[in-house]
Structure 1
Amino acid sequence: MVRDGALEALYGSAAGGGRRGGGLGASAPRVARWLGDVRTYFPSSVVQVMQRDALERLGLTSLLLEPELLEAVEADVHLVGTLLSLARAVPEESRATAREVVRKVVRDLEGRLADRTRAALTGALDRSARASRPRPRDIDWHRTIRANLKNYLPEHRTVVPERLVGHARAARSLRKEVILCVDQSGSMAASVVHASVFGAVLASMRSLDTRLIAFDTAVVDLTDRLADPVDALFGVQLGGGTDIDRALAHCQSRIARPAETVVVLISDLHEGGTPGGVPRRVAAMKAAGVRVVVLLALSDEGAPAHDREHAAALAALGVPAFACTPDLFPEVMAAALEGRPLPIPGPVPAPGTGGTEERRTRWA
């Protein structure tokens, strides 16, 4: 059967009762036929896994530089990461196809994530803009009454408004600032893809000033490419070392209004720069009023191998580091913009104890 043959070509003994199969070899036509077979006989989610295994097990990465094979693959985030890591090696005749593959994945991600991200953040920005001490003409009486229903006095048939809620017309025009600072080392490929998509979505919101910073041992500002996340992705160079302290210093230099700024560091925290620099830099930003969020990954795969000492040092500052799925990211950003508890998915290390603390950690 063709289905069994496709499995045998990739997994050999795993699919052939202990006998190692012939594999796919280095023939582009053979690989093209195999890609066609797996797309015909397996569901999309399985195809993506098999393609990923083929790249890792059989060393087919170089064949992805051929346009006819790029057109045959089932595109996903991991394939985009592979293409980005090979960006400088892609021959001229394959570049247009490679960009189309990346654009397809980006378009799918935007379709899945953009609307709910804008909805979540618009609500958060609206709530954070309401004044707690509004002028009489700016009082929102409907929200004020709802906020004070617990103070209803039945004998007087009235509500005592301990807290006034206002429309805050002036505050609504005050833009929030978001800086996405993304580690572009090779292990962070899926996170880079998702961060670029979210960066483009955030940049499309008028009430947000959004910057996208990518770093390894160097720092590159991709903000001017956010109108097209595909351009932003092709500005990334996956691989190389890591200097998180240098990247955070760059972000810090771009902060004009600390109290209105959220910095999101996306990194596995393996630092090759100044020892101890990351906690010191984060502590300084927090002291200035910046809200700092640290994500070990922005992907569906969960937490990667990461530097636990750095994570513990940040947790001690009230900045827990955790992995975040793309579906959860809008809620994380909404909470950060409002300054309310973060929706951390699962227990996090308690500072200095090795135990756990509450799932939701308030800003210190």
Structure 2
Amino acid sequence: MDQDSDERLRRWRLVLGGGAADGTGVGLSGADARADGALAAVYDREGGLGASAPKVARWLGDIRGCFPSTVVQVMQRDAIDRLDLTRLLLEPEMLEAVEPDVHLVGTLLTLNRVLPDRARESARAVVRSVVDGLERRLAGRTRAAVAGALDRSARTRRPKRAADIDWDRTIRANLRHYLPERATVVPSRLVGYARRERAVRREVVLCVDQSGSMAASVVYAGVFGAALASMRSLRTSLVAFDTAVADLTDRLRDPVELLFGTQLGGGTDINRALAYAQGLITRPAGSILILISDLFEGGVREEMLRRVAALTQAGVQVIVLLALSDEGAPSYDHDNAAALAAMGVPAFACTPDAFPDLMAAAIERRDITRWVERHTT
């Protein structure tokens, strides 16, 4: 019991941070003292790392030795926000010491225009490592989900193989041929999936808000856009916007190049972005437009809503993602989200892990509102 009590006091001491008011009376040494010092540098009022690059580098080494990588990423993000360490990320030695993650990539993309030449290659290496990890995690699943949806969405009355028969639809189409004495249905007409074609069967436009609050969503959109663009059955476009619109479709072959083509931190003109996206669509009935934005419109709101209505009336499937990240819904314009919902356009936050299934549901023209009810809270 004494050992359990000592362990609880040690843990409380690490949580409370020491000082006369913590009430534990416990001193720390060794690894505990290093972990406590690393935490104090960010979270104590009198803490701080100053503007010394060597001191920050030592701190980065300490936290990587004391905590798992998921905790390291949180502490790095808090240090950048709380201690204004953004300037130090312009130094290549700092970039080589940090733990890469999506949020760090977002910060680097925000700094893209001011990165000195000596730090640019290090920044690109950080972005590349994160993008490669996301592609390993998400790209294959996305292509598999979308390919399956494309196959299911194309029906044929002459399936060539038993594996191509859609048994559920076949049984429904032949219920009138049910034989009670044999307890079976005689399928006089088969319904099957068409084999995969090389022709373009869907147009997908990703329209991505690159205002500062959408940094993580921009990173994930770039990775997913590259995965979708690799599929011949889709014609994928990606445009990033603030108050202007940048068509980054020609960079979809390399998501790192695409991300460095964004300019995070500007204003927002959703209406202008939708107008440009509308011009990319050649087959409205076979098109999916995914707007990734927190919906804080800096342009003409009424015109934006009219344009969405025109797109849906033409047959375009419009889906609004308030965020494409693991953090859930950010601050967003509730009035615009409600106005879109009244048009039948769902607006919701989507995690990267759920996005492949969302794309499959959109391709199959399933009810996205019901999909949201099942997959989000």
TM-score normalised by L of structure 1: 0.88
Does the Cα contact within 8 Å between 2:153 and 2:193 map onto a contact in 1? no
Match of 1:102 in 2: 127
In 1, Cα distance between the equivalents of 2:49 and 2:170?
A: 69
The structural deviation recorded for 1:115 is 1.2
- 1:63 corresponds in structure 2 to 88
Asked whether 1:44 is paired with 2:73, we answer no
Number of the residue aligned with 1:173: 199
Instruction: State the identity as a percent.
Output: 66
After TM superposition, the structure 1 = structure 2 runs for residues 1-364 of structure 1, keeping only pairs within 5 Å, are 1-13=33-45, 20-21=46-47, 23-131=48-156, 134=157, 137=158, 143=165, 145-149=167-171, 151=175, 152-155=178-181, 159=185, 161=187, 164-168=190-194, 173-342=199-368
Secondary structure class of the residue paired with 1:292: strand
Considering only CA atoms, is the larger Rg found in Structure 1 or Structure 2?
A: 2
Amino acid at match of 2:312: K
Structure 1 residue runs of 4 or more that deviate by more than 4 Å after TM superposition = 137-142, 160-164, 169-172, 343-347
Separation (CA, whole Å) in 1 of partners of 2:338 and 2:292: 16
Q: 1:37 to 1:206 in 2, by over 3 A?
A: same
Against the structure 1 CA distance between its residues 203 and 144, is the aligned structure 2 distance closer, same or farther, given a 3 Å change threshold? closer
Q: CA RMSD in A?
A: 2.2
The whole-number CA distance in structure 1 between the counterparts of 2:235 and 2:244 is 23
Hey, what's the Cα distance between the residues in 1 that align with 2:167 and 2:106? 51
TM-fit CA distance, 1:174: 4.2
State the Cα deviation string for residues 70-119 of structure 1 (Å, max 9, x = none): 00000100000000000011000010000000000000100110111111
Cα distance in 2 for partners of 1:96, 1:43 equals: 27
Q: 1:344 to 1:52 in 2, by over 3 A?
A: farther
- Three-state SS of the structure 2 residue aligned to 1:237 is coil
Q: How many residues align?
A: 339
145-154 or 185-194: which moved more? 145-154
Q: Which amino acid aligns with 1:222?
A: L
Contact 2:346–2:368 (Cα < 8 Å) also in 1: no
User: Structure 1 residues 195 and 250, CA, compared in 2 at 3 Å: closer, same or farther?
Assistant: same
Distance (Å, rounded) in 2 between the aligned partners of 1:130 and 1:345? 22
* TM-aligned CA deviation for residue 154 of structure 1: 2.9
Distance 2:54 2:105 in 1: 22
Shift in Å, 1:186: 0.2
Q: Aligned-pair distance for 1:291?
A: 0.6
- Find the aligned partners of 1:121 and 1:216 in 2 and give their Cα distance: 29
1:168: how far off?
A: 3.8
* CA deviation map 1:228-285 (0-9, x unaligned): 0000000000011100000000010111011111000000000011121222111111
Q: Which stretch shows the higher mean deviation, 258-267 or 170-179?
A: 170-179
